[in-house]
Amino acid sequence: MPIDETAGLFPDADTRVFGVIGDPVSHSLSPVMHNAAFAQIGYNGAYAAFGTRDLAGAIRGVRALGIGGLSVTIPHKEAVMAHLDELDRLAAEIGAVNTVVNLDGRLLGYNSDCTGAISALSRKTRVRGKRAALLGSGGGARAIGFGLRAEGASVTVVNRTPERGERLARDLNADFIPLNDFNGKNVDILINTTSVGMTPDVDAVPVPASVLEPEMVVMDIVYNPLKTAFLKAAARKGCMIIDGLAMFIGQGAFQFELWTGKKAPLEIMEGAVREALQSRI
């Protein structure tokens, strides 16, 4: 496919390369979002998706090739910390990294999931004093749980594997319920932090609809598809729903500004992602 000369993207020897690492990443719209933003401001950058489970090898590649920065997704958000040179205070407190910056050969770790999620929630509901339940125990759950506690919410971790769930609950000073025992009672905010329901397994749900109550606020951090089967079920129950796009754009803007030192073109980023999602329907 020829390069669109109107896009402002002319890869050359000076092009700064960025990417997302994880497994899977074939669904990721981070390349769409970041490349549209680079083009909009005329930044000589290119962003790609690197599907890998070889985390150590990937980080060696970043150092060897001078990759400018990374988005980090499932399953690497916690493990990547051991491979970095320095952690931002918030990322260290959370215990998970979703953003890596290569600063002259030093790899710095940040977490933008926390601020992105709390911002998305706060636009729809008051968080302080609410009872929140997190489905999952990975890096996303850790970041969002940290943010919820900081905002004054009580938190319950709901997870299939007790060992991982109990560990996260201890770290957050939260309660733990095994997934099979979760009934949705006494929950104001329910958040899916897992990849269940993500393309291509769009019919999967993290919990049955029977646990959903009409007064719940239900959020899914999955953004592809935008309306997951989980959110559709919640809407049918009369819940207030929050899709993953607001969090996705917010955390992406934070990354973009760290990497480029430029203000993120939010409208362009959101428009590019929405257009890409619409084209896949």
As annotated, the active-site residues are 77
Please list the alpha-helical segments (H only) found in the chain: 30-41, 55-65, 89-94, 113-122, 139-150, 162-172, 229-236, 245-260, 266-279
Alpha-carbon distance 217 to 240, whole Å?
5
The three-point CA angle 193-131-95 to 5° equals 45
Helix (H, G, I), strand (E, B) or coil at 50: strand
As a whole number of angstroms, the distance between CA 4 and CA 32 comes to 14
Give φ, ψ of 207 to 5 degrees: -145, 155
Partners of 101 in beta bridges: 69, 108
Cis status, amide bond into 200, omega within 30 of 0: yes
* Residues contacting residue 79 through CB under 8 Å, at least 6 positions apart: 55
Nearest alpha-carbon partner for 154 in 145, 162, 142:
145
Q: Is 127 helix (H, G, I), strand (E, B) or coil?
A: coil
Nearest-angstrom CA–CA distance, 4 and 273: 18
Any bridge partners for residue 190, and if so which?
133, 218
